[in-house]
A and B are shown apart, each in its own frame.
Chain A
């Protein structure tokens, strides 16, 4: 069993609490992302799991065993760092075999494992090259191969793709996830890239200011965020004041019947993609385009409807001009309401 669980982990540096009550669990063979802006404590959490930093409070379990006090070199977890950290004085072969050499394996067995790893990351024949001869993507793959060579129970990835350009990043992500699935290795991915987290994880833990604000599947987090903070983390949204009384949703923009309980005062979240823009006089909600930004696959508008400014996104079949009169429709099924005190 190599599921990993964190229980009430806390950590302070110089009396500043950087981690507060961190709890989450990664089932065996699954990928969990720690997602958050820089400085939110996600890398610290990863280092605590790896044993590079010891927590002030709390326990870490690998399977059923507490590993909180196990030193880093005996943990069975391994980190791939953001800048790969390939040993510059060793060639690819010795880099990948490093962990095995430290474990005092026989040369013959090390060679077999190195070959296996090179095949896994699709870099056969790179044995004698030195790190400075490799491209960024190749370095990243060698770093991954080096980490996997020691057959760790848990793989920890610290922003492993952020130093690569967009196209390469996507390829590397695919390769990495494919290997992850093939080996069925429990993985924790630290990232600040929301798309990366959404696309590669079974579950995501959103960290803000040293706390896990929400833990759930990518769909749950995107469709059903538990706070405005988290909703905004996945992109800007529209919020309008509203209330619900007698099973009717009321706001300055629209009202419709709902099954939700009464709320005296709340904020209704409307995703920009849930607003559909039509030419004038198609619906009753009339407005005007304030600005538009052309983004290739999408066009981003701000529109003014009933004195309320809204953001909307649409595909560019029809491009509206600034100042053009329009009407809109709102997909009310996806409206999410946050209570206000």
Chain B
């Protein structure tokens, strides 16, 4: 009986992995393929055009990638700066209008971003934030904040306020409490929220395009025309790089968390 359930389990996991990995494998193969006519299972003409173009400095792909990582990193840091205190307030304190604020925070996920962005665009043009780095950073906060708050709020609900109270009872002032107790205990949650924000920001296309006005070029903007115009090879090269970037980021973050905190925080099962 046990063997049987194990087998079933393996089959299900296998199917899921196929669904997840097969499209990725196709993209990977496409990035080296000149053409791939139907009904051939594997392509016959391979080439490195896509990758050579990507590496070539004149295509500005790598510099855009680095710029994009920097931009998303900035967005992530600001998102965390806003959401750590906000999530704490929402998780632990009782105040008037809390439900309404919670609803409003999740509004960007519920309401299509396009509609929100249109209105913001007009305002940004008026105050001169359109087509600027700052403008793009600000607008990207909109989709990042809800996710970050969601994650951090549950972490705060789990930890509660007791550890902080205990630290204060032992003579720590507010700053010391945050540095030595709240932040270290919160760190795994901060890292999850941060990686979420990074990925959301990194994959923003429309918001960046609208507010950046073509002057602020991110990696996803570079990649989009190729996918749209049907240059499969180029599109696949950029897609692979895109996936590798976010994957690398996640792996680094995961390793860091494991190294520093997972063992120490075993009893807090939220890691």
Could you list which residues of chain A lie within 8 angstroms of chain B, going by C-beta atoms? Answer: 50, 52, 72-74, 77-79, 81, 83, 85, 87-89, 98-99, 101-103, 130-132, 146-147, 150
> Does any Cβ of A come within 8 Å of B163's Cβ?
yes
Cα–Cα, bound, A173→B172 (Å)? 28
Q: Which residues of A contact B263 (CB under 8 A)?
A: 130
Pick the contact of A78: B163, B170, B185, B264 (CB < 8 A). B170
Q: A52-B165, A85-B163, A87-B181 are in contact. Are A150 and B170 (CB under 8 A)?
A: yes
> Does any Cβ of A come within 8 Å of B101's Cβ?
no
A-B contact pairs, 15 of them (CB 8 A): A52-B169, A74-B171, A81-B162, A88-B264, A88-B267, A88-B268, A98-B167, A98-B170, A99-B171, A102-B167, A102-B171, A102-B176, A102-B180, A132-B267, A150-B170
B267 touches A131 (CB 8 A): yes
Could you list which residues of chain B lie within 8 angstroms of chain A, going by C-beta atoms? Answer: 162-163, 165-173, 176, 180-181, 184-185, 261, 263-268
Pick the contact of A72: B168, B180, B267 (CB < 8 A). B168
Cα–Cα, bound, A98→B165 (Å)? 13
B185 touches A88 (CB 8 A): yes
Q: Which residues of B contact A89 (CB under 8 A)?
A: 184-185, 261, 264-265
A78 touches B267 (CB 8 A): no
Q: Which 9 A-B pairs have the closest CB atoms?
A: A99-B170, A85-B166, A102-B172, A89-B184, A132-B267, A72-B168, A89-B264, A132-B266, A73-B171
Q: Which residues of B contact A103 (CB under 8 A)?
A: 171
Apart from A81-B166, A98-B180, A102-B171, list 18 A-B contacts with CB within 8 A: A72-B168, A73-B169, A73-B172, A74-B171, A77-B169, A79-B169, A87-B167, A88-B264, A89-B265, A99-B170, A99-B171, A102-B170, A102-B172, A103-B171, A130-B263, A130-B264, A147-B169, A150-B171
Cα–Cα, bound, A325→B262 (Å)? 68
Report A267 CB to chain B, min CB distance, Å: 44
Greatest chain B CB density within 10 A among A73, A99, A132, A147 is at A73
Cα–Cα, bound, A269→B28 (Å)? 87
Q: Which residues of A contact B173 (CB under 8 A)?
A: 73, 102
Q: Which residues of B contact A99 (CB under 8 A)?
A: 170-172
Cα–Cα, bound, A79→B166 (Å)? 8
Q: Which residues of A contact B165 (CB under 8 A)?
A: 52, 72
Return the chain B residue nearest A52 by Cβ.
Answer: B165
Return the chain A residue nearest B94 by Cβ.
Answer: A14
Q: Which residues of A contact B268 (CB under 8 A)?
A: 88
Cα–Cα, bound, A87→B268 (Å)? 11
A73 touches B168 (CB 8 A): yes
Q: Which residues of B contact A85 (CB under 8 A)?
A: 162-163, 166
Cα–Cα, bound, A72→B268 (Å)? 27
Return the chain B residue nearest A149 by Cβ.
Answer: B170
Q: Which residues of A contact B184 (CB under 8 A)?
A: 89
Q: A88-B264, A88-B268 are in contact. Are A78 and B181 (CB under 8 A)?
A: no
Return the chain B residue nearest A78 by Cβ.
Answer: B169
Report B24 CB to chain A, min CB distance, Å: 37
Cα–Cα, bound, A87→B170 (Å)? 12
Cα–Cα, bound, A50→B180 (Å)? 21
Cα–Cα, bound, A73→B177 (Å)? 11
Cα–Cα, bound, A88→B168 (Å)? 16
Cα–Cα, bound, A30→B128 (Å)? 70
Q: Which residues of B contact A83 (CB under 8 A)?
A: 162
Q: Which residues of B contact A131 (CB under 8 A)?
A: 267
Q: Which residues of B contact A81 (CB under 8 A)?
A: 162, 166
Return the chain B residue nearest A76 by Cβ.
Answer: B171
Cα–Cα, bound, A102→B167 (Å)? 9
Pick the contact of A52: B168, B180, B181, B264 (CB < 8 A). B168
Q: Which residues of A contact B172 (CB under 8 A)?
A: 73, 98-99, 102
Q: Which residues of A contact B167 (CB under 8 A)?
A: 87, 98, 102
Cα–Cα, bound, A81→B170 (Å)? 12
Return the chain B residue nearest A86 by Cβ.
Answer: B166
Q: Which residues of A contact B168 (CB under 8 A)?
A: 52, 72-73
Q: Which residues of A contact B261 (CB under 8 A)?
A: 89
Report B140 CB to chain A, min CB distance, Å: 32
Greatest chain B CB density within 10 A among A50, A102, A146 is at A102
Cα–Cα, bound, A71→B62 (Å)? 55
Q: Which residues of B contact A132 (CB under 8 A)?
A: 264, 266-267
Cα–Cα, bound, A77→B185 (Å)? 25
Q: Which residues of A contact B267 (CB under 8 A)?
A: 88, 131-132
Cα–Cα, bound, A72→B173 (Å)? 9
